[in-house]
Structure 1
């Protein structure tokens, strides 16, 4: 196992000086073996930067208060600054462990300042477990890169300096230094896939192939390199797709997409979603996009949905947009144009213009119900709203969501597309109608239920 007395501090002295511009070390301290060893080893390194230990109180265990007290006492013994953050864990369908992970990382992000480096104590055995779990889910090279050693987090950076060390080496270090740590009672629950692997599968692999975790670490690194090369190609491809953003969503050139092989298209779409901080479609959904959208006839009614988003083709563009909610029948509100008006998935604002709507009047706002007719300013005769929206080229998924402005029972304006004949005045207010393109709460890009460590 190497020199148990010094192996952790030696590893930290080798790994951490290469990180540039670090002003503070912030250690995620759960009170368990791994994070206790990391904090203890760091405290012996003698770095010039101050050390802060941060404990996240999830409130999920009856022992949570005791763990917080243990961490505070441990930091006092080491002479390390201690902060704790209580989080509310809301399970929104991804499992309690995943919800706790998201809450924990959000708390870290809120604490971190520019120049901070968050240190986490994941080790080589964690890496092996993650790699096997992702193999079980059929992950590609990016997923099989497993736990990244370094990545941005908010205004700071995150680093895992112990990934090359095994759990056994950390245990030996802790015993040699007579460290005390807490044991999370949930770690014995084999209903969690990671616990089952840790307690039932990994010991068998270790007995048969003692170096398996080190070899798997090498495989994960090769997958990471392959993933980075592939994504660099996809970024270059994406730049050639004429990416645009308008009121209807983010969109790419369909014709340019069709020139790429299917495998490059699918990788490009994943990278596009990641750049937009949107949950990536699954392999099955990517296949639907291939079959129903990219290879389908122009302006098809076909649509692929996932995680609150939709993809659809229109006028030789592939659109990615927030799936609009179905309007409530008969919904209406009033608006005097003096303030912005939120319509849930869209918003109305006004600004002074040469020609616009008259201010100071109470307009009724609603959505289409069918059969509306109007005559836009400058037209010779009226037409159905359905035909006008097609003529103006409004994307089909917005046609039932375009806000209609009324005075009494007279339609006077359709969003910011046009003002109806007889209602435009000089020096009036011009409407700006914008749809929302992102969700208030982004779905996690990592989809498993409580088994990923990143």
Structure 2
């Protein structure tokens, strides 16, 4: 049996971690039954905490041994006196890799068990960190990717923590043997068909023979990259405040003149933070180059567009607009005309329209309702606030409505007579006088969330 110091390094590490998180009232261990999570769960019980210690096992059904592993976890938790949550999931690949799909299914279960007082504990260690950095190096990651696995982050209502990240797996193995633990060896970990397994089985051992302190050096690199990334985020936040971002009828916009005058690096840095704040996909270098090509001219074309993932960037009147790509698709799907509309909420062009009563300044509602349709070519209009009529095309240009929205403006008519143009104005003769008035509420979905 391996000789360990009288005070276990694993227990010392975990004890310090628990002391640093006094707000946690419930520790939930992600328990696969493998070496790492087995040591983590046993160590928590050894600390004899006065808060709840529970475990969760997700049965992915990907191995012939999956049910046997679940039975093993139930027996071990029963011996430890730990409540075990088990959940079987169906892994939906949907064009993704098996590992990513399984992870998503697993985390969905984790999140369902979280509350504000809960910390989910994962058994990742320093060797996992080294593997992650190697994986991300092969993908060409920047400072954020090379910051590696985070020791903690918010998850659902609680937090996710990795308290063993400073320890190497061999240290966990020695502790497991000292405690005479039984654990599961997943046969899929023996296949180098998976990239991470290839690194673990072939690359990392070879590197450790030459550089025994590989795991510690990798952790050091991750630390410096995390610091650098934090500086990058702080600069981006300062720049984002300067460009005066705002929510728009559809999507969001920022001041193009300020963005244009930033350095190339800061323009890209700012756009990444802006997209991230809206839960949209981040641009890659090729997209940033295309943005510079299209939108750094003195007078960019308002019909220009740069898209990636679920994002579309457009320009209009010295502002850059960020739209969800599915919103652009919705704009291309022209809404169908509506007859005899009395103001109830109705779907319209990727959004919704409705009539709302107002105390003053509204328009009247015909007894038989409005017909709703798109504007017609060459159509003229006489707004209530103008002394003469003008083409609807010209009036929409003057209204500063974004060009990509003009084609779906809801126009309200009575017997082919134009009465109301979107939520922009109503026409001469349609003012509500001595009767209840209304205004049109036109709402578009701003983002993917």
- TM-score scaled by structure 2? 0.90
User: How many residue pairs end up in the alignment?
Assistant: 440
Which residue is 1:444 aligned to?
A: none
**1:225 CA displacement:** 0.9
Counterparts of 1:165-314 in structure 2, within 5 Å, are 165-295=167-297, 297-314=299-316
CA RMSD of aligned residues (A): 2.5
Is the CA contact (8 Å cut-off) linking 1:359 and 1:429 kept in structure 2?
Answer: no
Which residue is 2:40 aligned to?
A: 38
- TM-aligned CA distance change 1:359 to 1:110, over 3 Å: farther
**Counterpart Cα distance in 1 of 2:412 and 2:62:** 50
Question: Does 1:402 pair with 2:404?
Answer: no
**Counterpart Cα distance in 2 of 1:97 and 1:334:** 51
Task: Specify the SS of the correspondent of 1:425.
Answer: coil
**1:359 CA displacement:** 6.8
Question: Does 1:425 pair with 2:432?
Answer: yes
**1:381 CA displacement:** 4.8
**Counterpart Cα distance in 2 of 1:194 and 1:315:** 48
Task: Specify the SS of the correspondent of 1:133.
Answer: helix
Moved more, 30-39 or 214-223: 30-39
- TM-aligned CA distance change 1:75 to 1:251, over 3 Å: same
The structure 2 residue matched to 1:56, chosen from 32, 35, 58, is: 58
- TM-aligned CA distance change 1:350 to 1:222, over 3 Å: same
Which residue is 1:26 aligned to?
A: 28
Moved more, 114-123 or 27-36: 27-36
- TM-aligned CA distance change 1:375 to 1:322, over 3 Å: farther
**Counterpart Cα distance in 1 of 2:151 and 2:189:** 24
**Counterpart Cα distance in 2 of 1:195 and 1:411:** 67
For structure 1, the 5+ residue unaligned runs are 441-454
Question: Does 1:3 pair with 2:19?
Answer: no
**1:175 CA displacement:** 2.6
For structure 2, the 5+ residue unaligned runs are none
**1:288 CA displacement:** 1.7
**1:423 CA displacement:** 3.8
Is the CA contact (8 Å cut-off) linking 1:292 and 1:302 kept in structure 2?
Answer: yes
Question: Does 1:134 pair with 2:136?
Answer: yes
Counterparts of 1:149-160 in structure 2, within 5 Å, are 149-160=151-162
Is the CA contact (8 Å cut-off) linking 1:338 and 1:359 kept in structure 2?
Answer: no
- TM-aligned CA distance change 1:255 to 1:115, over 3 Å: same
**Counterpart Cα distance in 1 of 2:158 and 2:407:** 43
Greater relative contact order, per chain length (Cα 8 Å cut-off, separation 6+): 1
- Residues 259-297 of structure 1, C-alpha deviations (whole Å, 9 max, x = no match): 321112211211222222222112221222222224462
Task: Specify the SS of the correspondent of 1:313.
Answer: strand
Counterparts of 1:71-82 in structure 2, within 5 Å, are 71-82=73-84
- Residues 85-143 of structure 1, C-alpha deviations (whole Å, 9 max, x = no match): 34443334332322322232233222211121111111111111111111111111111
Is the CA contact (8 Å cut-off) linking 2:280 and 2:324 kept in structure 1?
Answer: no
The structure 1 residue matched to 2:448, chosen from 433, 439, 443, is: 439
**1:362 CA displacement:** 4.1
- TM-score scaled by structure 1? 0.89
The structure 2 residue matched to 1:351, chosen from 350, 356, 378, is: 356
Question: Does 1:385 pair with 2:392?
Answer: yes
Task: Specify the SS of the correspondent of 1:348.
Answer: strand
Task: Specify the SS of the correspondent of 2:116.
Answer: coil
Is the CA contact (8 Å cut-off) linking 1:248 and 1:395 kept in structure 2?
Answer: no
**1:192 CA displacement:** 2.1
Question: Does 1:375 pair with 2:390?
Answer: no
Is the CA contact (8 Å cut-off) linking 1:335 and 1:341 kept in structure 2?
Answer: no
- Residues 11-46 of structure 1, C-alpha deviations (whole Å, 9 max, x = no match): 101222112311111111122222122111111111
- Residues 72-96 of structure 1, C-alpha deviations (whole Å, 9 max, x = no match): 2221111111112344433343323
The structure 2 residue matched to 1:101, chosen from 97, 100, 103, is: 103
**Counterpart Cα distance in 2 of 1:64 and 1:420:** 69
The structure 2 residue matched to 1:332, chosen from 329, 332, 337, is: 337
Is the CA contact (8 Å cut-off) linking 2:281 and 2:310 kept in structure 1?
Answer: no
Is the CA contact (8 Å cut-off) linking 1:149 and 1:159 kept in structure 2?
Answer: yes
